[in-house]
């Protein structure tokens, strides 16, 4: 396991949809993702953020505030989302220093394979729901700017570019 460099927006790899996970490299990839996420320090990290275009993300939504609960999601798919939404602040390790107010479903149901190779179905709520949806977006080539109005996205992009 090693800490890998995190790609910064507007790296074009962050806008590309990802392919299925490669079983031959998955354990090493997940290890690197966790090492990099905790080192950053972040609450989630997707494979494309370290330049690997595979459908894999890791998360630990509460580790900064309490107990560590690491979750690896391999080839995840969203099966259901709540109709109720909420807007809240989101940051991104690939867009450092920029926080966006993003509207997300308050819960999300996902099916994914865990690191042991077991297919899981899990409902994420609260902070876990936000992190899971954010990281899932990365697998489809989306960043949180893409969830904003064009005006808000442009304003945040300009402030990010000015700070770089």
For residue 57 the two structure tokens come to: 């993300």
Is 124 among the domain residues?
yes
Report the range out of 14-18, 61-65, 156-160 with the highest average pLDDT: 14-18
Residue 159 confidence class, pLDDT cut points 50, 70, 90:
confident
Q: Domain range spanning residue 125?
A: 12-163
CATH of the domain at 70: 3.90.45.10
Question: Is a pLDDT exceeding 90 seen at residue 35?
Answer: yes
End-to-end C-alpha distance for the chain, whole angstroms = 29
DSSP structural state of residue 143? -
Contacts of 29 (CB under 8 A, 6+ apart): 21, 22, 47, 52, 54, 56
Question: Is a pLDDT exceeding 90 seen at residue 30?
Answer: yes
- Quick one: pLDDT at residue 65? 80
Question: Is a pLDDT exceeding 90 seen at residue 121?
Answer: yes
Task: Kindly report the number of other CB atoms within 10 A of residue 116's CB atom.
Answer: 7
Query: How many domains in the chain?
Result: 1
DSSP structural state of residue 120? E
Q: Which residue has the tokens 């909420």?
A: 86
Is 61 among the domain residues?
yes
Residue 162 confidence class, pLDDT cut points 50, 70, 90:
confident
Contacts of 96 (CB under 8 A, 6+ apart): 8
Residue 150 confidence class, pLDDT cut points 50, 70, 90:
very high
For residue 144 the two structure tokens come to: 């949180």
Question: Is a pLDDT exceeding 90 seen at residue 64?
Answer: no
Is 88 among the domain residues?
yes
- Quick one: pLDDT at residue 141? 98
How confident is the model over 27-42, as a mean pLDDT? 98
Q: Which residues belong to the active site?
A: 135
For residue 137 the two structure tokens come to: 């977006």
Is 83 among the domain residues?
yes
Is 133 among the domain residues?
yes
- What percentage of the chain reaches a pLDDT higher than 90? 89
Query: Are 63 and 107 contacting, i.e. CB atoms less than 8 angstroms apart?
Result: no
For residue 76 the two structure tokens come to: 């995840």
Is 85 among the domain residues?
yes
Is 4 among the domain residues?
no
């Amino acid at each position: 396991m090693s800490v890998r460099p995190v790609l910064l927006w507007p790296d074009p790899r962050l806008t590309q949809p990802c392919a299925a996970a490669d079983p031959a490299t998955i354990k090493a990839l997940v290890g690197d993702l966790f090492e990099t996420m905790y080192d950053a320090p972040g609450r989630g990290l997707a494979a494309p953020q370290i330049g690997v275009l595979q459908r894999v993300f890791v998360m630990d939504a509460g580790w900064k505030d309490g107990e560590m609960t690491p979750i690896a999601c391999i080839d995840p798919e969203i099966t259901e989302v709540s109709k109720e939404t909420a807007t809240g602040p989101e940051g991104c390790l690939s867009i450092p220093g920029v926080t966006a107010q993003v509207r997300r479903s308050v819960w999300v149901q996902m099916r994914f394979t865990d690191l042991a190779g077991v297919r899981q179905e899990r409902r994420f709520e609260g902070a876990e729901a936000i992190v899971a949806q954010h990281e899932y977006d990365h697998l489809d080539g989306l960043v949180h700017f893409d969830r904003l109005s064009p005006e808000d996205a442009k304003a945040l992009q300009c402030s990010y570019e000015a700070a770089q």
